[in-house]
Chain A
Amino acid sequence: AQTVTQSQPEMSVQEAETVTLSCTYDTSESDYYLFWYKQPPSRQMILVIRQEAYKQQNATENRFSVNFQKAAKSFSLKISDSQLGDAAMYFCAYREMNYGGSQGNLIFGKGTKLSVKP
């Protein structure tokens, strides 16, 4: 079974600085998707960024970028120029490709709580 591990329960960053959140996963599949979701106190899960495993290029969304290392099964999130609004729980998630069967549910890690200091 696929698993997702986030080894940093809590992280802290100074406003305007850069922080990297770690995620590792375990799968025997070669095609899959990886995601980072943000969950602020409102509890709504918000998609931050996604990566298709077949793409070698790391995904980027404005201040958010990933370092995808497929062989190492590592998928870290880098937040540049951190802002107070970035403070939230961040979840790494895995989803296998659909080949006509189940869509493939999201498998989440336990999350990393990010604090941003002014």
Chain B
Amino acid sequence: DAGVTQSPTHLIKTRGQHVTLRCSPISGHKSVSWYQQVLGQGPQFIFQYYEKEERGRGNFPDRFSARQFPNYSSELNVNALLLGDSALYLCASSLAFGAGNTIYFGEGSWLTVV
């Protein structure tokens, strides 16, 4: 079975532009989360979705938004890109809602803002 898949794997954007990152969870998983990992740091929580509803939001500006589709895939959108948005964006999925469910990560999308 396929794991968590993310696209694109690498991309370069210019300051002020918009970016959309995509994630397909493991088949059967209904919960998707997004994390930002800046170089040299641990991942930081951005959003969590379950059954197409937002269930958690980290300390990120309103330029960051996300949504989950009926097939449980998800998009992360970032508007008005800043240099500081350069990071690895990790998507994670779990079978259901609840902290007891194991979280599985994708390989991430590398975003470089120039």
* A contact residues vs B (CB 8 Å cutoff): 4, 32-33, 37, 42-47, 50, 91, 93, 95-98, 102-111
B44 at the interface (CB under 8 A from A): yes
Query: Contact between B105 and A45 (Cβ–Cβ < 8 Å)?
Result: yes
- Contacts of B113 on A, CB cut-off 8 Å? none
A42 to B88, CA, bound (A): 12
- Closest A residue to B56 by beta carbon equals A102
Contact with B45, one of A4, A43, A106 (Cβ below 8 angstroms): A106
* B contact residues vs A (CB 8 Å cutoff): 31, 33, 35, 40-45, 48, 50, 55-56, 58, 88, 90, 92, 94, 97-108, 110
- Contacts of B102 on A, CB cut-off 8 Å? 47, 50
- Closest A residue to B107 by beta carbon equals A44
- Closest B residue to A35 by beta carbon equals B103
- Contacts of B105 on A, CB cut-off 8 Å? 37, 44-46
- Closest A residue to B105 by beta carbon equals A45
Query: Contact between A107 and B45 (Cβ–Cβ < 8 Å)?
Result: yes
Query: Contact between B40 and A110 (Cβ–Cβ < 8 Å)?
Result: yes
Question: What is the distance, in angstroms, from A11's C-beta to the closest C-beta of chain B?
Answer: 16
Apart from the given pairs A44-B107, A108-B42, 10 other A-B contacts in the complex at a CB distance below 8 Å: A97-B99, A98-B99, A102-B48, A102-B56, A105-B33, A105-B56, A106-B43, A110-B40, A110-B41, A111-B42
Knowing A43-B88, A98-B99, A102-B48 are in contact, say whether A91-B108 is a contact too (CB < 8 A): no
Contact with B99, one of A43, A103, A109 (Cβ below 8 angstroms): A103
- Contacts of B90 on A, CB cut-off 8 Å? 45
